[in-house]
């Protein structure tokens, strides 16, 4: 191997984005943020659990319909929805956030229920409010809205209803 080729390899390694378990990593306010694709989401979360991230504290979503621009690492294509999962490692006193891009035309992501049974209600809330289905979930039904409710209220294109305000007619003065 020549000195030139080893220098080029070192430069490529130095400029390559950091990754954890194959997922690109960014940082936000001192916290690691992983950006796996939908296909590797459960695998990355399982590897993090094995690393000591034994508690899932949140699963939610963001609808970027009106503001699609956001910071993502190179190679991660922005989609309308982003599912955000937060894990805690108590032994190391650290957190990690996982941001997965979910397209509008196929809002489906595998469930984390088998890794973290406590995500059952959080995934149902995300489904109820955003319409993102968690494939393999044991009870993918509404949890906040009535079963016959139409739509998903936290989607940016959800029609905001109006409540007509009825005012009393002024009383006649004598």
pLDDT at position 136:
98
Better-scored residue on pLDDT, 48 or 69: 48
pLDDT at position 140:
97
Instruction: Give strand ranges (E) for 19-144.
Output: 19-20, 23-28, 31-34, 55-63, 81-89, 94-102, 108-110, 133-135
Q: What percent of the chain has pLDDT over 70?
A: 86
- Give the residue from 36, 126, 52 showing the smallest Cα distance to 88: 52
What CATH architecture applies to the domain 15-135? 2-Layer Sandwich (3.30)
Q: What are the domain boundaries of the chain? A: 15-135
Query: What confidence tens digit (pLDDT) does each residue in 115-173 have?
Result: 999 999 999 999 999 999 999 999 999 999 999 999 999 999 998 776 666 677 777 77
pLDDT at position 142:
96
């Amino acid at each position: 191997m020549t000195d030139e080729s080893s220098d080029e390899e070192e430069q490529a390694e130095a400029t390559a984005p950091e990754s954890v378990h194959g997922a690109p990593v960014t940082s936000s306010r001192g916290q690691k943020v992983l950006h796996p694709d939908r296909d590797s989401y459960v695998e990355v979360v399982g590897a993090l659990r094995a690393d000591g991230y034994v508690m899932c504290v949140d699963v939610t979503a963001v609808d970027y319909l009106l503001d699609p621009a956001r910071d993502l690492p190179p190679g991660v294509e922005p989609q309308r929805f982003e599912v955000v999962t937060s894990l805690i490692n108590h032994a190391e006193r650290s957190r990690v956030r996982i941001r997965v891009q979910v397209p509008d035309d196929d809002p489906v992501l595998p469930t984390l229920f088998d890794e973290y049974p406590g995500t059952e209600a959080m995934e149902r809330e995300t489904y109820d409010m955003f319409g993102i289905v968690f494939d393999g979930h044991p009870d993918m039904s509404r949890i906040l809205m009535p079963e016959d409710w139409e739509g998903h209220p936290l989607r940016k294109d959800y029609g905001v209803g109006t409540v007509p305000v009825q005012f009393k007619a002024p009383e006649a003065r004598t």
